[in-house]
């Protein structure tokens, strides 16, 4: 399997590619502008040379044939000049032309006939040249009157300069890319060192499976520091979840042991002495208790594992009215709805009512009030007893917790824990004040 490329290398390569691209674009722009400027300057010089020859032909035609009259230079290069009459015959030429001839008969005839100047690229003696052809005015009686002037210069030097500039651009782009890669590697090594430390610490925690350990602080108030704090918060949450799971398993084992032990004892008694009504009643009661405990455990496990799920409008007043009757009175003057799992919310309200019936006075009334206030759907269940206060109120919704009373009613201690889990899954909460338990959920408008 191919080893993956490290983040440092990818960042360095990306930086090098970006710098190389930027340098190349800048260089290409410089090359293009330089070539355009050079071509413009060359063409202007050719036109200026042709203008001087035209002025000489009009003002002093006899000087056209004088030695050195047509010699000129363009920067460090020689100008090649040729003057022809109206029939295309050569009247004068610069010595730098040697035995060469500028332009063809067709090109010369075109310029004379049209009266317009033209630029073109040509080849002279195997060298590339830039050629300017311009007509001469039909003024005076000179030999070139009505003819044309042709001025040219070699482009070899321009091409060599452009080539050198292109090579320089390529070398500059490559050098800039290598320099950027080196700098990026050095900077990312330092910048990613905290991430490397975090990775090593996380790997050590994973190897030891010790959820009490934490990642080392980076000491920096940046993204890496925020990542470290987030991961430590996650580890703390996992530690709390593992501890809660450990307590849950221990409490569940303890709660299940009692009815199971009673069932085994009664089964042994029946095996030795035979069945009687009292023992069978005990077995039935233990089985019912065990069944109720398992139902509560399953409901709590479902709440813990359930996600947001499919939410639907739920009328809380209707769920409460379904439990009305006997000692339970419902006060729901107006419809109150929320969005959620109807079965889970029905169980939560049922658990609050059952808790009030079991822990309140035997003949006392239980009142269920359903109302909407400030965007909250509130279901309050109140019994006629003294209710909870102090430490009991703080622990009321913990799993397997039951009030420490001399005559404690039987129960699993999971009913209120299920209510809290359901409320939190629906984005709400549950609270207790004395004998009033309030389920607070987001109202559906």
Quick one: pLDDT band at residue 336, thresholds 50, 70, 90?
very high
| 131-168 confidence digits (pLDDT tens) | 999 998 887 677 888 889 999 988 888 888 888 988 98
Least confident of 41-55, 69-83, 330-344: 69-83
Residue 312 has pLDDT above 50, yes or no: yes
Quick one: pLDDT band at residue 254, thresholds 50, 70, 90?
low
Level-2 CATH architecture, domain 223-296: Orthogonal Bundle (1.10)
Number of other CB atoms surrounding residue 375 within 10 Å: 9
- What mean pLDDT is predicted for residues 307-317? 78
Q: If 0-12 CB within 10 Å is exposed, 13-18 middle and 19+ buried, where does residue 268 land?
A: exposed
Domain ranges of the chain: 11-163, 223-296, 306-442
Q: Are 316 and 345 in contact (CB under 8 A)?
A: yes
Q: Specify whether domain 306-442 bears CATH 3.50.50.60.
A: no
pLDDT value of position 380:
95
Strand order in the sheet with 436-442: 328-331, 366-373, 376-382, 436-442, 429-433
Q: What is the CATH number of domain 11-163?
A: 3.30.450.20
d(CA 438, CA 336): 14
Packing angle between helix 223-273 and helix 277-305, nearest 10 degrees? 170
Percent composition of the chain: helix, strand, coil (DSSP 3-state, to 5): 55, 20, 25
Residue 63 has pLDDT above 90, yes or no: no
Residue 308 has pLDDT above 60, yes or no: no
Of 33, 139, 144, the C-alpha closest to 85 is: 144
Q: Do domains 223-296 and 306-442 have the same CATH topology?
A: no
Instruction: Considering only residues 79 and 441, tell me which one the structure prediction assigns the higher pLDDT.
Output: 441
pLDDT value of position 443:
92
Least confident of 55-64, 94-103, 304-313: 304-313
Q: How many helices (H) and strands (E) does the chain have?
A: 10, 13
Residue 261 has pLDDT above 70, yes or no: yes
Q: Is 104 helix (H, G, I), strand (E, B) or coil?
A: coil
> What is the DSSP secondary structure assignment for residue 83, as one 8-state letter?
E
Tokens describing residue 279: 């023992």
pLDDT value of position 332:
92
Tokens describing residue 313: 């409008």
Of 33, 43, 53, the C-alpha closest to 129 is: 43
């Amino acid at each position: 399997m191919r080893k993956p490329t490290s983040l440092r290398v990818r960042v360095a390569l990306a930086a090098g590619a970006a710098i190389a691209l930027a340098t190349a674009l800048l260089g290409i722009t410089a090359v293009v502008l330089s070539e355009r400027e050079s071509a413009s300057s060359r063409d202007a010089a050719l036109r200026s040379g042709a203008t001087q020859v035209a002025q000489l032909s009009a003002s002093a035609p006899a000087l056209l044939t004088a030695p050195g009259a047509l010699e000129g230079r363009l920067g460090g290069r020689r100008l090649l000049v040729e003057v022809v009459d109206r029939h295309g015959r050569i009247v004068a030429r610069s010595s730098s032309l040697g035995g060469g001839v500028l332009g063809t008969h067709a090109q010369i005839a075109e310029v004379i006939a049209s009266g317009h100047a033209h630029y073109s690229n040509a080849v002279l003696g195997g060298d590339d040249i830039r050629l300017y052809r311009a007509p001469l005015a039909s003024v005076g009686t000179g030999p070139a009157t009505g003819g044309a002037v042709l001025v040219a210069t070699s482009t070899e030097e321009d091409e060599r300069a452009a080539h050198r500039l292109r090579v320089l651009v390529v070398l500059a782009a490559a050098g800039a890319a290598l320099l950027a890669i080196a700098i990026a590697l050095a900077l990312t090594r330092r910048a990613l060192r905290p991430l490397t430390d975090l990775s090593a610490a996380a790997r050590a925690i994973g190897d030891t499976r010790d959820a009490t350990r934490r990642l080392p602080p980076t000491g920096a108030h940046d993204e890496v520091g925020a990542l470290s704090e987030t991961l430590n918060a996650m580890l703390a949450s996992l530690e709390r979840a593992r501890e809660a799971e450990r307590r849950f398993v221990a409490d569940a084992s303890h709660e299940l042991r009692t009815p199971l032990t009673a069932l085994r004892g009664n089964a042994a008694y029946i095996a030795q002495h035979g069945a009687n009504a009292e023992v069978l009643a005990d077995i039935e009661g233990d089985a019912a208790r065990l069944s109720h405990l398992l139902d509560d455990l399953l409901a709590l496990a479902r709440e813990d594992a359930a996600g947001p799920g499919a939410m639907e409008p739920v009328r809380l007043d209707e769920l409460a009215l379904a439990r009305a009757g006997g000692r339970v009175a419902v006060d729901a003057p107006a419809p109150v709805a929320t969005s959620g799992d109807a079965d889970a919310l029905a169980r939560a309200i049922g658990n609050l009512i059952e808790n009030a019936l079991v822990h309140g006075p035997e003949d006392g009334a239980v009142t269920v009030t359903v109302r909407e206030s400030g965007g909250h759907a509130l279901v309050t269940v109140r019994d006629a007893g003294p209710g909870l206060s102090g430490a009991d109120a703080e622990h009321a919704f913990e799993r397997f917790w039951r009030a420490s009373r001399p005559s404690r009613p039987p129960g699993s201690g999971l009913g209120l824990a299920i209510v809290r889990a359901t409320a939190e899954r629906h984005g709400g909460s549950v609270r207790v004040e004395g004998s009033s338990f309030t389920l607070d959920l987001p109202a559906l408008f």
